[in-house]
Structure 1
Amino acid sequence: MREVVYTGFMSLDGVVDSPGGGPGEEHRSGGWVFKDVEVLPEAFALKGEELAETTALLFGRRSYEAFAPVWRDSEDHAAYKDLPKYVVSSTLPESALVEGWGPTTILRSNDDVVELKKSEGGAIFIHGSAELARRLSDARLIDRYHLLVFPTLLGAGKSLFSSADNEKQVLRLRDSAAYPNGVLKLIYDVAG
């Protein structure tokens, strides 16, 4: 069974949206990752380490529409170009898929994600896509979290975790690190 891994930047109060700022990120604190915290390469090394494990990318519709046209031509994201991509959306038409960014498949439901997990291959990483991550977490379809937690309280924005009255999920710490700029690396496996 393939693992689904959520990876992202998160504020201490759980906000994951608009970390880099830019088009499509209208959050009042957009770009918060780079505004108030010293950039230390070792704090961002996790992103490079993930590349070796990533065999496919999974997005929600809005994150796909924001990332695909930018990441396709980005030197920083060149390693993702030819990887298979999956977009979970009940509304995205095939005609909206971005050309030249590797094979992309639209999944229409959580059941399609279950089938993807059963397919051959390695880890599938979710970038951005807070709403998708909440929905997949509620459905118990996320196997691991890779979080870089920033010493910032944003007070508003999309949360990674649902506020629904769901059954408890237990996470087991796989790896962690603290950096001089206050950023924490937390890697958790979802138990059970």
Structure 2
Amino acid sequence: MRNLIVSEFITLDGIIENPEWTYTEVKPLPEMFSLKEREQQEAGCLLLGRVSYDEFAPVWPSMEEFAEYNAMPKYVVSSSLEDPEWHNTSVLRSLEEVRELKESDDDGTILVHASATLAQGLLAAGLVDRYHLLVFPILLGGGKRLFAAEDGAPAKLALAEHETYANGVQMQVWDVVR
């Protein structure tokens, strides 16, 4: 069975929506992105929600730093997307299809970037194995949260890795305890 990892840039108060604050409020440091490089090397496919797909598909194919993502299989969970234009992209219609993808014998992890609504649904369905978080020392007070109380999806997490960078950003890797 493949592991499913949710990877997010997140504020201290749990906001992941519109992460333009990642580079405007905190000076990025090269070491912050070692986790992202590792993700790219270990991922067997990229899983996105429809909103994130619509944001990434027009931009990522032309970005050299995302060459590995562009080459790998991509899956979009959507009830309305019919003909995805991003190379090597397939549409999944339900979380049950995500479960089948997870149970496949394919290599590499399933990596979820952004896609807040999808990430919440995956947690509620018991499909998330690990969280990769870059926690920025910013409080926004409002916006889409990664973990929303109304989801009703309690989960116990165990800290697997952590590091704090000179700019205050924390890398946190959490395993979902089953």
TM range (shorter): over 0.9
Instruction: Give the match for residue 117 of structure 1.
Output: 102
Compute the displacement of 1:73 (Å).
1.2
Which one of 27, 30, 48 corresponds to residue 38 of structure 1?
27
- Check 1:139–1:179 CA distance in 2 against 1; reply closer, same or farther (3 A cut): same
1:54-89 CA deviation, whole Å, 9 max, x = no partner?
Answer: 110000001001101110111121111110000001
Are 2:16 and 1:16 equivalent residues in the alignment?
Answer: yes
Q: Deviations over 1:27-64 (max 9, x none)?
A: xxxx1011121211112221111111111000000100
| Cα distance change on mapping 1:110 and 1:165 into 2, 3 Å | closer
The AA in structure 2 aligned to 1:73 is S
Residues 121-142 of structure 1, C-alpha deviation per residue, up to 9 Å, x if partnerless? 2201001100100111111111
Question: Which residue is equivalent to 1:24?
Answer: none
CA displacement at 1:165 relative to structure 2:
5.9
**1:87 maps to what in 2?**
76
Give the share of equivalent positions with the same residue, in percent: 47
Q: Which moved more, 1:115-124 or 1:142-151?
A: 115-124
Unaligned runs of 5+ in 2: none
Normalization by structure 2: what TM-score?
A: 0.95
Please give the alpha-carbon distance, in whole angstroms, between the structure 1 residues aligned to 2:90 and 2:32.
32
Pick closer, same or farther for the CA change 1:167–1:72 going to 2, 3 Å: closer
What residue number does 1:63 align with?
Answer: 52
Structure 2 contact 123–153 (Cα < 8 Å) conserved = no
Match of 2:85 among 98, 108, 113: 98
| Alpha-carbon separation, structure 1, partners of 2:148 and 2:114 | 15
Please tell me the residue identity of whatever aligns with 1:8: E
Report the TM-score, using the length of structure 1 for normalisation: 0.89
Cα RMSD for the two superposed structures: 1.2
Q: Which runs of 5+ in 1 are unaligned?
A: 20-30
| 1:75 correspondence with 2:60 | no
Match of 2:135 among 129, 145, 149: 149
Contact 2:124–2:151, Cα closer than 8 Å, also in 1: no
